[in-house]
Structure 1
Amino acid sequence: MGRSLVFLASAPVKFSRELNWVPPLGQKLRQSFPRTTRQVSLGGFLKFPSFSANQGRTLSVRAVVSSDTSYPKVGATSTGPIPGSQLAEVVETAAKTGAQVVMDAVNKPRNIFYKGLTDLVTETDKMSEAAILDVVRKNFPDHLILGEEGGIIGDSSSGYLWCIDPLDGTTNFAHGYPSFAVSVGVLFQGNPAAAAVVEFVGGPMCWNTRMFSATAGGGAFCNGQKIQSSKTDLVEQSLLVTGFGYEHDDPWATNMELFKDFTDISRGVRRLGAAAVDMCHVALGVAEAYWEYRLKPWDMAAGVLVTSSK
């Protein structure tokens, strides 16, 4: 199982490594980790405090190692009446269709709009989502769909939910920075069943793509080749990845402290700016772990299945 940490601010952080010692409650994470190498094991939890709207910006970072070593399965146990191979084919076609829209625009001037102070959206986001929707609705007109730009459409009684991020990493795309993707995942009865993430690699004048895909119980692949996450079990030998949201609130401030703390005890922490890409890099084995606060369903529906599939 890949070592992806994906969680909401109100939920415990699920971390696929457990230290073989317990840091004192109330101490900062940096103070709790000794500088010597520590062995870690898969399947543990690191729990961080939850947040409420009326809290101030004076939170200290606390970590408690849980004795609970279980790690819940992410993928759906069944794809329902639709065969997994059929779902996978449509998911991959939808992601490729959206990616073609992005590729057609990647070397052209961008029309940029703002959803917030620094939260961008482009015409390409909207065009990519429209193209993906056409594929999904043509094949499964009775399914429920959640798109980042268009919201919820379709039959709310359906057992299937499609989560679409037509351009994950819009700010990177707007600047021509090579860390963005098209992400399409479908859930059956609330659990990921099939996923595809088309990552853009290279850079201006040499753009290319690679596609990550997965089905529940069917393994994870990159361009059709089976992939495996890293076997590294030492934090001090690990490269970690995280992300930061647009709201500079308590979770953002706490994650900044975690960024500093994990930089102290690991080989480094990267911040690329596209959650789906980050998770796929963990699945590929080029990074050992990823965590981020306040991800939306479209951010993680595809990437979390790719990362957790064996």
Structure 2
Amino acid sequence: MSRADAELAIQAARAGAEVVRSHHGRSVDRFAKAGGDFATSADIEAEQAILGVLRSARPDDAMVAEESGRSGSDGSGRVWLVDPLCGTLNFAVHTTLVSVNVALRVDAEVAAAAAVDPFAQEVFWTDGTAARVRCGGVDQHLLPSAASGLVDVNLDPPFPNERVFRAARLLTDEGFVERFRPRVVSTTLALAWVAAGRRAAYVTDGRLRDNVHFAAGIALSEAAGCVVTGIDGRPWRSGLGGLVAAADADTHAGLLALIARQREPA
């Protein structure tokens, strides 16, 4: 069912992306959330559109959505993870660096995922075995490459590992400056770009297991053949957490070495 599930993820994410596009350039209502975060009317309406598609096709599956939380049955082992608008702050100030993310976790693994760029109208997707980008109805395999030297770094809180790692400190390390050039997209669309060879790597802190923001992007990176671990080099679901997703092993090792310096005595 993974290919059918992948097509459903694409359909659902596209439904959300259509809503996001329809709100672009318009004033959107803001709804306060914890920690100074907020959602907009675009987030909420996009999520409703996505869930409508998923519930119609898979009524027995569970859903975990950013704005409405968990719904549906837990009995099947199938859980859809929905981030209706990744990059809400960007969107609220009319910046088009956003994505719509839908992923299906079956038991412990993500079996299908789609991340849609609503404005470039690119669909990055995986059926759990390969990663592709669909544009204009044509699919192409994603091919990671570190040639650009560009590394996206997530500077947004929370920082659960700040005692041993802060992204801002990574950017001031001379070893980083000598080898890489930083970018800050502020959306997990950057993970899709690592899978597509448009970024050399992506680095973030955080607890990412079953995280609706990251599930689709991580699945894309892994299916494309990227090297993906936590910031301590262990599996990202365990250890310190966080994420280093790199186009190749050399880039990954270089970033882990730079991160490890932060744990060394001054």
Do these two structures clear the TM 0.5 threshold for a shared fold by scoring above it?
yes
Corresponding residue of 1:270: 183
Residue 99 of structure 2 aligns with which residue?
A: 181
Residue correspondence of structure 1 range 230-241 to structure 2 within 5 A: 230=145, 232=147, 238-241=149-152
Note the 1:140-219 alignment, pairs <5 A.
140-201=58-119, 208-219=120-131
Distance change (3 Å), C-alpha of 1:295 and 1:282 = farther
Name the aligned partner's letter for residue 132 of structure 2.
A
49, 68, 80: which is aligned to 1:131?
Answer: 49
Kindly state the Cα deviation for residue 189 of structure 1 after the two structures are TM-superposed: 1.1
Query: CA–CA distance in 2 between the matches of 1:199 and 1:98?
Result: 10
Give the direction of change, closer, same or farther, for the CA distance of 1:136–1:249 in structure 2 (3 Å limit).
closer
1:306 paired to 2:220: yes
Q: How many residues align?
A: 217
Pairwise CA distance, 1:161:
1.0
- Give matches, 1:21-100, under 5 Å: 83-100=1-18
What do you get for the CA RMSD once the two structures are aligned? 2.0
In the aligned structure 1, how far is the partner of 2:176 from the partner of 2:36? Answer: 26
Q: 1:257 to 1:242 in 2, by over 3 A?
A: same
1:225 aligns with 2:140: yes
Alignment deviations for residues 60-81 of structure 1 (CA, whole Å, 9 cap, x no partner): xxxxxxxxxxxxxxxxxxxxxx
Where 1:179 maps in the other structure, the secondary structure is coil
Aligned partner of 2:153 among 222, 226, 242: 242
Does the 8 Å contact 1:215/1:305 carry over to 2? no
- Kept in 2: contact 1:210–1:222 (CA 8 A): yes
Q: Secondary structure at the match of 2:218?
A: helix
Distance in 2 between the 1:248 and 1:294 partners? 6
* Alignment-mate amino acid for residue 144 of structure 2: S
Report which structure shows greater RCO (CA 8 Å, sep ≥6). 1
The structure where helix makes up a greater share of residues is 2
Contact 2:13 2:114 in 1 (8 A): yes
Sort the Cα spacing of 1:246 and 1:267 in 2 relative to 1 into closer, same or farther, 3 A.
closer
- Secondary structure at 1:294 match in 2: coil
Structure 1: runs of 5 or more not aligned: 1-82, 202-207
Confirm or deny: 8 A CA contact 1:241 1:290 kept in the other structure: yes
Name the TM-score, length of structure 1 as normaliser: 0.65
2:17 is the alignment partner of 1:104: no
For the 8 Å contact 1:95–1:197, the answer to whether it is kept is yes
Deviation at 1:231, TM superposition (A): 5.1
Give 2:8's aligned amino acid: V
* Distance in structure 2 (CA, Å) of the matches to 1:247 and 1:231: 28
Unaligned residue ranges in structure 2 (runs of 5+): 225-266
Structure 1 residues 200 and 251: CA distance shift in structure 2, 3 A: farther
State the distance in 2 between where 1:249 and 1:187 align.
Answer: 24
The residue aligned with 1:37 is: none
Is 1:283–2:201 an aligned residue pair?
no
Q: Which contiguous aligned blocks of 4+ residues in structure 1 show a shift greater than 3 angstroms?
A: 246-250
CA contact (8 A) 1:239 1:266 kept: no
Q: Flag the 1:249–1:140 CA change in 2: closer, same or farther, 3 A.
A: closer
Q: What secondary structure, in the 3-state scheme, does the structure 2 residue paired with 1:299 have? A: coil
* Structure 2 residue matching 1:251: 3-state secondary structure: coil
Distance 1:178 1:260 in 2: 28
Distance 1:128 1:168 in 2: 11
> How far off its partner does 1:263 sit?
4.0
In 2, Cα distance between equivalents of 1:285 and 1:163 = 25
Q: Which amino acid aligns with 1:243?
A: N
